[in-house]
Structure 1
Amino acid sequence: MSSSTVRTVTYDLLRQLGLTTFFGNPGSTEETFLKDFPADFTYHLALQEASAIAIADGYAQATGKPAIVNVHTAAGLGNAMGNLITASLNKTPLIVTAGQQTREMLLMEPWLTNVDSTMLPRPWVKWAYEPTRAEDVPAAFMRAYATAVQAPAGPVFLSLPLDDWDKPCNGPAVVRTLGHRVAPDLDRLKEFADILSGAKSPALIFGAAIDRGNGWADAVALAEKLNAAVFAAPASERTPFPEDHPLYVGGLPFATGPLSDRLKGHDVAIVIGAPVFRYYPYVPGPYLPEGMRLLHISDDPGETSRAPVGDSLVSDAVLATRALVELVKPGAAKATPAALPHRMAPHPACHPEDAPGGKDGVHTAADVFAALAEVRPDHCVLVEESPSNLADLHRWWPITEPQTFFTFASGGLGWNLPASVGIALGERDTGRNRPVIMIVGDGSFQYSLQALYTAAQSKLPIVYIVLRNGQYGILKSFAVLEETPGVPGLDIPGLDIVSLAKGFGCEAERISDLEVLKARVKAGFSGPGPLVIEVPITNDVPPLI
């Protein structure tokens, strides 16, 4: 009999793929997989599976490599689903594994069986599989890896019966290499380049794929060659272009009519690395202003096929942008676009004293952001989950370096706090050690609060700024737009943010004085672990669009 087991062959495969960092919350059906956990592997414990998924997502985005998440059969996968949706829309390569009951009992569906195991995570995984034979487990991991990293990247799922691991396996596993970038059809791209070169007023709309693919320099080169206005795609989860660049004119709104209005005056627009378009509130209007032609480039055929307007090309966003730089003609005669009034970019006159003031001694969110901008360290990574204050945040904290802004592509609360933990772990493991700050609303803070435990246990010097206005501000903004007064459950009094954070092992305090806040934040970036600061702000309700 072979001395190799399914477990030993699988762990050897994972070593060769560089997948030695696990995230999870173990259960009884996972313990056989984790038995005698190898000394050269690392396991990061999360106290709930939603946090485990998001921590792994943040880690994968920070390191640029896939990550493994281990959750507990059907119950754990159910807990994880909200953040699995976000990982899917983030296009993050994750290998999500869950234990399954013993094969000998599956027919009876005993307690904790994952019934129809491959169906539960759909449609939010690219591939879901439960190996037919124990000896197929290593090859299933290889296929899972290949599927996760190939374009469009995303999570995959393996259901693994708990009695498979000690079964004999004729190893070693077959390890394959593969490419993960899709080159453009050059003839089609030349057509796009000719259309852009002939435009009187082209607009470039860049999406998160530019940042994921390290394409800032290419995006800037294309914008400058065309002398074209640059927008960020609506609700972009990563910043695709320097927000202090003179050609940047802001993020597009995520509603049909307002988005069309923002694009007026442009005869051609090209969306690169984002959907067409990410909408949320229904505000009627045309998809595009009259007379505009839309072009679209994405490595995701699902995005290109469901776009309601535009001519599409399937390609890696950065490879296509780089090629367009060579193909388009210079646009020297075109006028440099003027900044729009609600441009999400810094203004030369922005100083803390210019920020709008609060009332009754309580500061506005803008006051807080202006103060934080004064003590912003070099190369700081910002993680954001304060949707009602996003416009003010970008005005006072413009993103000027690649891979320094992260938020959720799904809009589902509870991803960003644990993701900040994974991002900080990634900064540590890559040796970059960039400081990490998270801006989060008091409502958002509650969704994956358990992730603070992982941050504290790992001694990660993350600074959390919790804006305390005692309400779901974004929902009140929707209530104004939708004309729905009297909706219950939009106020959240009685929360003690400081006590909650201390209970998970973090340093925490409540600060209302902005000078004190600035000093504490500066110290927090070099502290021994996570620091949570609750900052009271006014309960103003900003406009949604």
Structure 2
Amino acid sequence: MATVREVLFDLMRQLGMTKIFGNVGSTEEPMLKSFPRDFEYILALQESVAVAMGDAYAQVSGKVAHVNLHTAAGSGNGMGNIETAFYNRTPMIITAGQHMREMLIHEPYLTNKNPYKQAEPWVKWSYEPARAEDVPAAFLRAYVTAIQAPAGPVYLSLPMDDMDRECAGLPLPRKIEARLSAGKDVLQTVADALAESKTPALVFGGAVDQTGGWYDAVALAEKLNAAVWAAPFEGRPGFPENHPLFRGGLLSGMSSICKQLEGYDLVVVIGAPVFRYYPYAPGAPLPKGTRLFHLTDSAEESARAVVGDSIVCDPARACATLVELLPATFRSAPEPVPPSPEAAAGETITADYLYYLVGKLRPNDSVIAQESLSTLGQLKDRIRTTEPRSFFSMFSGVLGYGLPAAGGLALAERELGTNRKVICLVGDGAAQYVIQSFWTAAQHELPVLYIVLRNHAYNILKSFSKYLVAPEVPGFDLPGIDIVQIAKGYGCNGAYCSKPSELEDAIIEGLQSPLPYVLQIEIDATVPALLGKIGPETQYELPR
């Protein structure tokens, strides 16, 4: 009779999950021993790196990621990016080793004393099988749970002595419809309201792209000739940012969003929360007289929405269904937002000039991984996302995602054969959370261009300090860090750039590298406004 381990790996093969991201611990060794030759283990030097790489890999490849973590403390190391995977709606199975069953009553060294609760509330399901022979069935249930809308991570704690026990065989095969429907009956009310509206606005979120609705969203906007906004704090766009109907990104304060939505009698939010607010900027959630519909595949998002009528449905299918239901529009298209003028080089390199050159020089089909929150406004203005699955950040706000995510994107691009160039734009502070990512990229020869914005500080926190009127807070400055030398120590090539006149050549050299390349850019350290420009729209002064 086969062992639990043998049946488990057979099940992974059937599910197409032959790649495992992890950081090996002693409690995982019984599962991984005699590792199958048709599987690939992607070693990260810290658990958080493994989780973020698996997250980005899953988002591009469309597969469920398998991340293998160490027991209690090791799983704890990965918690920040487990939260990010939850908000990113990433289908992911996290398996973690557990001590021997016969020893658990004594809580020996390395025991996860409460595996059901450790990963909560950032997983859809957390479980430790009651019997060794239940492990394959638990893995299949984890797979089904992870892929069903809204997708997300699950956590399985697997006792180390389960793997050599006998197991009768694979669970019975099942077919699961992972997506929700979007029937005409539930959307007819929305279609009628859109048809009657004089000034509608559409707000698209990352779930539109996640569910494959990029081009359906374009068709809906064009049929309506409606203004399109991006929802705040979304980790990936749901609509092309160079489209004439695109107005920019909604800001994240309640009063600022209300001001941006003035003049619209109807707002339909698709595939995003209503809304992700931060920081506190009190005000009404909508202008007086404006109606809002919320179309989401998350019952939790629907329940917590601050305003509007919610319908739980598939975002992509909802866009397609509304296109079918809507009559031809009588409206004229709004005037497109004029493009920003070309950036000029100054005495120092500004984030705006850096992003302008990256946008000018990068391949049209390149993929962006982003984690520089203090310069996000300039980035979204200068580097427009024009194709689906081409821009990735974290929905959660937890730092430590960008560097490893870039590696996961590059692995997926290689596996798919698309081989789009991955460009990681990351702040010098955020990079330190997961600096070990450089090693994995070097080991797998991933052709990522890492551009590290070196302003010697946590500038986003300085922005908060100004907004919150909290002077003299310690811990913002980051002197004495040489990121290129660190990267070279992990096996990457790299260079420095501090002069605007040298920046274009430096970016071109990095883009041409077939191996991971780290470019440290000395940028102007001026602290930006906290709630400012996101995309082509104007900046607003907000109440404190």
Q: Would you call these one fold, judging by a TM-score over 0.5?
A: yes
Shift of 1:476: 1.0
Aligned to 1:533: 519
Contact 2:510 2:518 in 1 (8 A): no
Contact 2:246 2:336 in 1 (8 A): no
Q: Distance in 1 between matches of 2:333 and 2:24?
A: 59
| Aligned mate of 2:431, from 428, 445, 452 | 445
Does residue 62 in structure 1 map to residue 60 in structure 2?
Answer: yes
- Secondary structure (helix, strand or coil) at the match of 1:119 reads helix
Q: Distance in 2 between matches of 1:117 and 1:349?
A: 51
Q: Distance in 2 between matches of 1:477 and 1:139?
A: 49
What letter corresponds to residue 266 of structure 1 in structure 2?
Answer: Y
Q: Distance in 2 between matches of 1:193 and 1:334?
A: 18
Q: Distance in 1 between matches of 2:433 and 2:506?
A: 25
Q: Distance in 2 between matches of 1:157 and 1:337?
A: 49
Q: Distance in 1 between matches of 2:401 and 2:394?
A: 7
What letter corresponds to residue 166 of structure 2 in structure 1?
Answer: P
After TM superposition, the structure 1 stretch with the greater mean CA deviation from structure 2, 216-225 or 24-33, is 216-225
Aligned to 1:503: 489
State TM-score, norm by structure 2. 0.96
Q: Distance in 1 between matches of 2:170 and 2:223?
A: 52
Contact 2:198 2:331 in 1 (8 A): no
Shift of 1:281: 0.1
Q: Distance in 1 between matches of 2:146 and 2:384?
A: 32
Shift of 1:210: 1.1
- Secondary structure (helix, strand or coil) at the match of 1:490 reads coil
Does residue 104 in structure 1 map to residue 102 in structure 2?
Answer: yes
| Aligned mate of 2:244, from 207, 229, 246 | 246
Aligned to 1:20: 18
Q: Aligned Cα RMSD in Å? A: 1.2
Aligned to 1:318: 316
- Secondary structure (helix, strand or coil) at the match of 1:539 reads coil
Which residues of structure 2 form unaligned runs of 5+? 532-544
Count of residues paired in the alignment: 531
What letter corresponds to residue 370 of structure 1 in structure 2?
Answer: Y
Does residue 350 in structure 1 map to residue 341 in structure 2?
Answer: yes
Shift of 1:173: 3.0
Q: Distance in 2 between matches of 1:42 and 1:174?
A: 26
Contact 1:23 1:43 in 2 (8 A): yes
Shift of 1:459: 0.3
Q: Distance in 2 between matches of 1:211 and 1:544?
A: 27
| Aligned mate of 1:159, from 148, 157, 160 | 157
**Equivalences for residues 240-389 of structure 1 within 5 A:** 240-337=238-335, 339=337, 347-348=338-339, 350-353=341-344, 358=346, 361-389=347-375
Shift of 1:337: 4.7
Contact 1:142 1:175 in 2 (8 A): no
Once the two structures are superposed, residues 226-264 of structure 1 have per-residue CA deviations (whole angstroms, 9 ceiling, x without a partner) of: 110000011111011111111000000011000110000
What letter corresponds to residue 58 of structure 2 in structure 1?
Answer: A
Aligned to 1:201: 199
Aligned to 2:536: none
Contact 2:4 2:165 in 1 (8 A): yes
Q: Distance in 2 between matches of 1:21 and 1:419?
A: 16
Aligned to 2:540: none
Contact 2:348 2:499 in 1 (8 A): no
Shift of 1:283: 0.4
Contact 1:418 1:451 in 2 (8 A): yes
Aligned to 2:538: none
Once the two structures are superposed, residues 248-291 of structure 1 have per-residue CA deviations (whole angstroms, 9 ceiling, x without a partner) of: 00000011000110000000000000001011100011011110
Q: Distance in 2 between matches of 1:337 and 1:479?
A: 37
- Secondary structure (helix, strand or coil) at the match of 2:93 reads strand
Contact 1:29 1:101 in 2 (8 A): yes
Shift of 1:336: 1.2
Contact 2:362 2:511 in 1 (8 A): no
Q: Distance in 2 between matches of 1:463 and 1:58?
A: 16
Contact 1:27 1:72 in 2 (8 A): yes
Shift of 1:348: 4.0
Contact 1:383 1:439 in 2 (8 A): yes
Q: Distance in 1 between matches of 2:490 and 2:386?
A: 33
Q: Distance in 1 between matches of 2:340 and 2:496?
A: 30
Shift of 1:350: 3.1
Contact 2:340 2:381 in 1 (8 A): no
Shift of 1:369: 1.2
Once the two structures are superposed, residues 202-240 of structure 1 have per-residue CA deviations (whole angstroms, 9 ceiling, x without a partner) of: 000000011112212111111111110000011111011
Aligned to 2:463: 477
- Secondary structure (helix, strand or coil) at the match of 1:399 reads coil
After TM superposition, the structure 1 stretch with the greater mean CA deviation from structure 2, 259-268 or 397-406, is 397-406
After TM superposition, the structure 1 stretch with the greater mean CA deviation from structure 2, 470-479 or 507-516, is 507-516
Contact 1:228 1:337 in 2 (8 A): no
Q: Distance in 2 between matches of 1:426 and 1:93?
A: 15
Aligned to 1:343: none
Q: Distance in 2 between matches of 1:321 and 1:407?
A: 24
Give the direction of change, closer, same or farther, for the CA distance of 1:296–1:155 in structure 2 (3 Å limit): same
Shift of 1:518: 2.5
Shift of 1:164: 0.5
What letter corresponds to residue 306 of structure 1 in structure 2?
Answer: R
Q: Distance in 1 between matches of 2:501 and 2:421?
A: 20
Q: Distance in 2 between matches of 1:441 and 1:498?
A: 13
Once the two structures are superposed, residues 73-110 of structure 1 have per-residue CA deviations (whole angstroms, 9 ceiling, x without a partner) of: 00111000000000000000000000000001000000
What letter corresponds to residue 479 of structure 1 in structure 2?
Answer: S
After TM superposition, the structure 1 stretch with the greater mean CA deviation from structure 2, 324-333 or 469-478, is 324-333
Shift of 1:187: 1.8
**Equivalences for residues 412-423 of structure 1 within 5 A:** 412-423=398-409
Aligned to 1:119: 117
Once the two structures are superposed, residues 358-385 of structure 1 have per-residue CA deviations (whole angstroms, 9 ceiling, x without a partner) of: 4xx3211111111222211120101110
| Aligned mate of 1:39, from 37, 41, 45 | 37
Shift of 1:527: 2.1
Shift of 1:515: 4.9
Q: Distance in 1 between matches of 2:59 and 2:174?
A: 22
Which residues of structure 1 form unaligned runs of 5+? 340-346
Contact 1:9 1:173 in 2 (8 A): no
Q: Distance in 1 between matches of 2:357 and 2:219?
A: 33
Shift of 1:494: 1.3
Contact 1:511 1:533 in 2 (8 A): yes
Does residue 524 in structure 1 map to residue 510 in structure 2?
Answer: yes
